[in-house]
């Protein structure tokens, strides 16, 4: 087979493949839109997304208040009762906790969406775990607040 015939054959193969691919993609896009509508029509999913969204916004607000309230450039990010201050970092590092909580919330929300059609219990479990992660990050931020602003001695 000559090079020209090979290129022509490859050209027609690609030419026929592109409409098939985009046709399947558009059908998939419509199916995803319908699945999202079904997912958010499920009342517990709406409730969890709303509550977790509010908790995550409060985490960002608390991190901003901690960062704004610090007068020094360094923040105490970890305190151990036995050894005292373990970890000092620039005060902007306080925002890593809400970032991690947001990423885990979005990941668990995506997994809940994927599992929703097969098992609603598993979807609920993913969303509850995202809520628990956000609440635990809130406790971590509160402990950072206590260590940096409450005078014990």
pLDDT tens by residue, 46-98: 999 999 999 999 999 999 998 888 888 888 877 777 777 787 788 888 899 99
Residues in the chain, total: 153
Distance CA 138, CA 65 (A): 13
Could you tell me if 63 and 102 are in contact, meaning their C-beta atoms sit under 8 angstroms apart?
no
Nearest alpha-carbon partner for 117 in 24, 45, 33, 38: 38
- 10-16 LR contacts (CB < 8 Å, sep 24+): none
Q: Greater confidence, 125 or 17?
A: 125
Residue 32: is its pLDDT beyond 90? no
Mean pLDDT of 94-114: 92
| Domain chopping of the chain, boundaries | 1-41, 42-149
What pTM was estimated for this model as a whole?
Answer: 0.74
């Amino acid at each position: 087979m000559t090079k020209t015939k090979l290129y022509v054959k490859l050209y027609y193969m690609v030419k026929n493949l592109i409409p098939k691919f985009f046709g399947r993609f558009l059908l998939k896009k419509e199916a995803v839109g319908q699945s999202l509508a079904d997912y958010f029509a499920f009342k517990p999913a709406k409730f969890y997304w709303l509550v977790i969204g509010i908790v995550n916004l409060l985490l960002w607000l608390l991190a901003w208040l901690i960062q704004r309230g610090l007068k020094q450039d360094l923040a105490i990010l970890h305190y151990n009762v036995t050894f005292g201050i373990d970890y000092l970092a620039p005060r902007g590092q306080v925002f890593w906790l809400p970032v991690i909580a947001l990423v885990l919330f979005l990941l668990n929300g995506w997994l809940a969406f994927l599992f929703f059609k097969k098992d609603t219990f598993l979807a609920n479990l993913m969303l509850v775990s995202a809520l628990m992660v956000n609440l635990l990050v809130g406790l971590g931020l509160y402990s950072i607040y206590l260590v940096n602003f409450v005078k014990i001695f």
